[in-house]
């Protein structure tokens, strides 16, 4: 009896018709296929079919939605093809193709440059992208390297110079200050003069007489009243609009060479080693006394939040006080010369900078929250003054022996932005304009020099404050 074998024979697997042109090759843009079909296409040895469906770990992606065409990493027609333009052959394209497909790279023997790294290879002479730049169409091409941002240009010469006869060459005095109403106060001998930066008008505010002389001047933050420290130890308050004295407060045994305002509290430092706190709302000369220095107090600055007072003395110490204690909360003793230059940062809380005299020459930065010294820079000259810029995170320092220079620094890198020269003696006095762009410096050469060193504020002040805080360079030419 004949047996019907057709019923027991398994149906033949469907054949995959592959064009002859594709035999033995696999296109990257082909659609995903099963593992069995892939084996036939790749001409791999046949394996018995498992009883159940299994999946291999080989995944052949669909390249149709990838972005590799954007980087010319896929095989493209030759440049002579009419259907597609030639793929750009740029250094970046070759490098990226070598990283992603090392076997197909013509320079397979070249060392791997580790394109995708997390740390900079400082041993390498330059970055792999040193010569790569973006073209106008937003792509990547070859050519000249991207130009670095040009450093900010600071004029090397003052745009105005004023004569200041009898401006004393004394490291411990503070004879120049610039008000928020654009008025410059200068102590010359026994007199105080006011110079309007808006109109260039000069007004004589007062004359202390032959037995006294001016040792310090300091404006209130509103700019209407001026405090004057005298050689007899008095502290006077003057109304600048009426040229009239309002208060005269004693307390110091000898000259009061430095002043600092804190709202209605005026602090004064003297040669008698004391710091007096004057409250203009009460009738007494002073309400408290800080005694911590062992020599003359020559530097005095309140923090911007009025919570801390930094004082520097001829005893090489920088002390930090608060309003709740009669003793300093910090005693910083790293300086090796008198500390006159003190400046609180307007950009970072509890950051104060201080500068030392001829035997020290260093600018030091302190965190008053814990008393740590953050940095120290040797400037090469006696540090006479420091001032931060409120528009950018930079500061300016003025110097005495031996170079008499003015230096602009970028913080926190402390890279030099500019070095300015022109004074022939120590640059003992410094003040900043209300808009923060211009400084005025004074020296024993009896000149006041105006320098435009800082950029303007990026965010403009409200319109109602424009008249109060504006400062035009054209006004003081």
Closest CA to 361 of 416, 323, 315, 398: 398
Q: Are 391 and 434 in contact (CB under 8 A)?
A: no
Is residue 468 over pLDDT 60? Answer: no
Q: What is the DSSP string of 342-402?
A: EEE-SSSTTEEEEEE-TTT-EEEEEETTTTEEEEEEE-SS-EEEEEE-SSSSEEEEEE-TT
Task: Determine the pLDDT at residue 325.
Answer: 81
Place of tokens 């000069």: 202
Closest CA to 425 of 195, 106, 58, 164: 164
pLDDT band with cut points at 50, 70 and 90 for residue 83: low
Residue 333 has phi, psi (to 5 degrees) of -125, 25
Interval 82-101 mean pLDDT: 70
Closest CA to 278 of 270, 289, 291: 289
pLDDT band with cut points at 50, 70 and 90 for residue 369: very high
- Tell me what percent of the residues of the chain surpass a pLDDT of 90: 62
User: 3-state DSSP call for residue 47?
Assistant: coil
Interval 278-307 mean pLDDT: 95
CA 392 – CA 117 distance, rounded (Å): 33
Cis peptide before 223 (omega within 30 of 0): no
Q: Which helix (H) or strand (E) holds 176?
A: strand 176-178
First-last CA distance in the chain: 126
Task: Determine the pLDDT at residue 216.
Answer: 98
Buried b (16+ CB within 10 A) or exposed e, 93-109: bebbbbbeeeeeeeeee
- Tell me what percent of the residues of the chain surpass a pLDDT of 70: 67
CA 323 – CA 341 distance, rounded (Å): 22
CA 355 – CA 386 distance, rounded (Å): 7
Is residue 18 over pLDDT 70? Answer: no
For 306-363, the pLDDT digits (tens) are: 999 999 999 999 999 998 888 999 999 999 999 999 999 999 999 999 999 999 999 9
- Give alpha helix (H) positions in 78-119: 91-100
Half-sphere exposure of 41 (CA within 13 A, CB side): 19
Q: Are 286 and 299 in contact (CB under 8 A)?
A: no
Task: Determine the pLDDT at residue 218.
Answer: 98
pLDDT band with cut points at 50, 70 and 90 for residue 86: low
CA 245 – CA 50 distance, rounded (Å): 107
Residue 208 has phi, psi (to 5 degrees) of -75, -10
Task: Determine the pLDDT at residue 418.
Answer: 96
Residue length of the chain: 477
CA 239 – CA 245 distance, rounded (Å): 6
Is residue 267 over pLDDT 80? Answer: yes
**Residues 6+ positions from 262 with CB-CB distance below 8 Å:** 302, 306, 309
Task: Determine the pLDDT at residue 308.
Answer: 96
Is residue 260 over pLDDT 80? Answer: yes
Task: Determine the pLDDT at residue 311.
Answer: 98
Task: Determine the pLDDT at residue 95.
Answer: 79
pLDDT band with cut points at 50, 70 and 90 for residue 405: very high
Task: Determine the pLDDT at residue 329.
Answer: 96
Interval 398-402 mean pLDDT: 95
Is residue 303 over pLDDT 90? Answer: yes
Distance between alpha carbon 317 and the CA centroid of its chain, in Å? 27
Task: Determine the pLDDT at residue 40.
Answer: 40
131 versus 347: which is more confidently predicted?
A: 347
CA 355 – CA 343 distance, rounded (Å): 9
Least confident of 133-137, 425-429, 444-448: 133-137
Least confident of 199-203, 240-244, 457-461: 457-461
Q: Are 375 and 365 in contact (CB under 8 A)?
A: yes
Least confident of 19-28, 105-114, 442-451: 19-28
Reported pTM: 0.67
- Token pair for residue 405? 């220079």
Ordered domains of the chain (ranges, CATH): 160-476 (2.130.10.10)
Least confident of 95-109, 384-398, 426-440: 95-109
**Residues 6+ positions from 172 with CB-CB distance below 8 Å:** 257, 258, 271, 296, 298, 314, 338, 340
Interval 93-102 mean pLDDT: 76
468 versus 455: which is more confidently predicted?
A: 455
Interval 156-181 mean pLDDT: 96
Task: Determine the pLDDT at residue 74.
Answer: 52
Is residue 371 over pLDDT 50? Answer: yes
Maximum CA extent, the chain? 149
Interval 75-93 mean pLDDT: 60
Task: Determine the pLDDT at residue 92.
Answer: 80
Least confident of 90-94, 198-202, 270-274, 278-282: 90-94
Q: Which helix (H) or strand (E) holds 468?
A: helix 466-469
CA 6 – CA 222 distance, rounded (Å): 109
CA 336 – CA 324 distance, rounded (Å): 29
Least confident of 44-53, 288-297, 379-388: 44-53
Long-range contacts from 31-36, C-beta under 8 angstroms, 24+ separation:
31/62, 32/59, 32/60, 32/61, 32/62, 33/60
For 186-216, the pLDDT digits (tens) are: 999 999 999 999 999 999 999 999 999 999 9
Half-sphere exposure of 89 (CA within 13 A, CB side): 7
Is residue 121 over pLDDT 80? Answer: no
Q: Are 173 and 216 in contact (CB under 8 A)?
A: yes
């Amino acid at each position: 009896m004949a047996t019907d074998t057709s019923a027991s024979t398994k149906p033949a697997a469907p054949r995959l018709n592959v064009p002859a042109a594709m035999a033995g090759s696999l296109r990257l843009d082909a659609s995903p296929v099963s593992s069995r079909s892939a084996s036939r296409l790749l001409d791999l040895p046949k394996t018995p079919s498992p009883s159940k469906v299994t999946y291999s770990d080989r995944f052949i992606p669909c390249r149709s939605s990838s972005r590799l065409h954007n980087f010319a990493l896929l095989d493209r027609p030759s440049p002579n093809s009419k259907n597609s333009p030639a793929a750009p052959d740029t250094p970046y394209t070759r490098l990226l193709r070598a990283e992603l497909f090392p076997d197909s790279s013509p320079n397979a023997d070249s060392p791997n440059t580790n394109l995708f790294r997390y740390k900079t290879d400082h041993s390498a002479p330059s970055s792999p992208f040193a010569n790569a730049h973006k073209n106008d169409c937003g792509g990547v091409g070859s050519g000249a390297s991207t130009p670095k941002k040009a450093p900010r240009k600071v004029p090397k010469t003052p745009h105005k110079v004023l004569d200041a006869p009898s401006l004393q060459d004394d490291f411990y005095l503070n004879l120049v200050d610039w008000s928020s109403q654009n008025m410059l106060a200068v102590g010359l001998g026994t007199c105080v003069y006011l110079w309007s930066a808006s109109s260039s008008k000069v007004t004589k505010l007062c004359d202390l007489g032959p037995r006294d002389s001016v040792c310090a001047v300091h404006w209130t933050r509103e700019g209407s009243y001026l405090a004057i420290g005298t050689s007899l130890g008095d502290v006077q308050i003057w109304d600048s609009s009426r040229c009239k004295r309002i208060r005269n407060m004693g307390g110091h045994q000898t000259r009061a060479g430095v002043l600092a305002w804190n709202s209605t509290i005026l602090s004064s430092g003297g040669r008698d080693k004391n710091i007096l706190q004057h409250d203009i709302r009460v009738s007494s000369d002073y309400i408290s006394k800080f005694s911590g220095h062992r020599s003359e107090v020559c530097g005095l600055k309140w923090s911007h939040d009025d919570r801390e007072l930094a004082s520097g003395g001829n005893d090489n110490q920088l002390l930090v006080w608060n309003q709740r204690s009669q003793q300093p909360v910090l005693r910083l003793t790293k300086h090796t010369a008198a500390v006159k230059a003190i400046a609180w940062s307007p950009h970072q809380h509890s950051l104060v900078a201080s500068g030392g005299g001829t035997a020290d020459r260093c600018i030091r930065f302190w965190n008053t929250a814990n008393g740590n010294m953050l940095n120290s820079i040797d400037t090469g000259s006696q540090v006479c003054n420091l001032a931060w810029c409120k528009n950018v995170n930079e500061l300016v320092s003025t110097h005495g022996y031996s170079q008499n220079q003015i230096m602009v620094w970028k913080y926190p890198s402390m890279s030099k932005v500019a070095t300015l020269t022109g004074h022939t003696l120590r640059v003992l006095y410094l003040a900043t304009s209300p808009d923060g762009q211009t400084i005025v410096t004074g020296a024993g050469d009896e000149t006041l020099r105006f320098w435009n060193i800082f950029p303007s504020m990026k965010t403009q002040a409200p319109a109602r404050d424009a008249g109060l805080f504006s400062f035009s360079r054209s006004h003081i030419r």
